[in-house]
Amino acid sequence: MTAIQGFELVAGATSLAPVRREIPALLPEDVLVRVAGCGVCHTDLGFLHDGVRTRHPLPLILGHEISGHVEDAGSRHRDLVGRAVVVPAVLPCGECALCRAGHPTICAAQVMPGNDCDGGFATHVVLPGTFLCPVPGAGPDPDAELGGIAGLTLRHLSVVADAVSTAYQAVERSGLRRGELAIVVGLGGVGTFAAQVAAERGAAVVGLDVDPRRRAEAPKMGVGLALDPREVSGKELRSRVSAFARGAGAPATGWTILECSGTPAGQQTAFGLLVHGATLMVVGFTLETVAVRLSNLMAFDARALGNWGCAPELYPAILDRVLAGKIDVVSHATLKPLSQIGEALEEVRTHRADRRIVLVPDRKEVS
């Protein structure tokens, strides 16, 4: 392989253009990853349609949810050559004061594929190799089943890079415990996994989503009560959630609210569900502003936390859960050829995609 083939965003464009790049000489800390799969995230649409700026100047190959095989490496990471890996969506430097203090996701020198450098909507990607997560038991075939789980392949594990790991860290940071109540607002790409992680932790889970397909699938995610916040809102919504909590033996206080919709309506709904001692985790992103009464945080002695990506040290535990079947990614991901990237992005933009789309390079047929 002498070149990278992919799809890049150029200034002023509303679609991605095919591009061929020469593979650069690898620096000591670099690795060359042959992409097995790259998930499509709403963040990609933000760069493409909503005016969100990439940190690296355009043109740029997008895509930050990557799994693949290390095909080559600089001098520091020769041990990774041939290994199957998941690429964390946020790669910190590991050396700065913030990293040493345990804050890798706000590292000023962090690298996010498809934002700080070319990403995974391509055959290959060049990245720092320090925090790549090797996949236990994975061989050279990206279509081989993993963990004894029907249909689970390295390609599907691309969603662990962001959708699963972001959800996992958000639940981890919330402090959610067995027997407590978790409310997931938005059961899409990240919310799907936030519900699963919360349920796997032993929490009673409420899911809110406007899409009837997602509500119908909610019990498979561990959701005990699924509601449409457009039909059940305000005091009625709080009453329904409170009744569910009582029935599940969960406390009436200390709810964990995971806002994963990335919409103003979802964020307002999430804030409106604050109770005494609640924790609001803001996971979804929107450029739009939301009017809320911040004094509610004071009145309820509650807290609101943002969550950006996932710390690399959490990835092995996440992979273990996926490979043990405790987190289901196969049912919530669909593989499509990279050549169909335009159609895939449009499916996500128009909310027609009912599962996380994973783009697969150099594959003519997918199931």
Q: Is residue 16 part of a domain?
A: yes
Per-block average pLDDT, block size 10, for the chain (367 residues)?
90 93 96 98 92 95 98 97 98 96 96 97 97 96 95 98 98 98 96 98 98 96 97 95 98 98 97 98 95 97 97 97 97 96 95 93 54
Sequence-ordered list of residues with C-beta below 8 angstroms from that of 309, at least 6 positions apart, any chain: 88, 89, 90, 105, 112, 162, 165, 166, 169
- State the pLDDT at residue 14: 87
The Cα 293–Cα 270 span in angstroms is 12
* Per-residue tokens: 250: 């969960």
- State the pLDDT at residue 1: 59
Q: Is residue 123 part of a domain?
A: yes
Same domain, 118 and 172: no
Burial of 35 (0-12, 13-18, 19+ CB in 10 A): buried
CATH number, residue 32: 3.90.180.10
Domain stop point among 291, 306, 321: 306
Same domain, 320 and 343: yes
User: Which domain does 269 fall in, by range?
Assistant: 167-306
Q: Which residue has the tokens 């509601």?
A: 227
What residues are paired with 133 via a beta bridge? 86
- Of the candidates 169, 158, 2, 130, the one whose C-alpha atom is nearest the C-alpha of residue 69 is 158
pTM for this predicted structure: 0.95
Domain count across the chain: 2
* Per-residue tokens: 203: 């929490």
Alpha helix (H) residue ranges in the chain = 42-49, 97-100, 163-174, 191-200, 212-217, 234-248, 264-272, 295-299, 315-323, 341-349
Q: Which residue has the tokens 């109540």?
A: 181
- State the pLDDT at residue 347: 95
Q: Is residue 247 part of a domain?
A: yes
- State the pLDDT at residue 311: 97
Burial of 21 (0-12, 13-18, 19+ CB in 10 A): middle
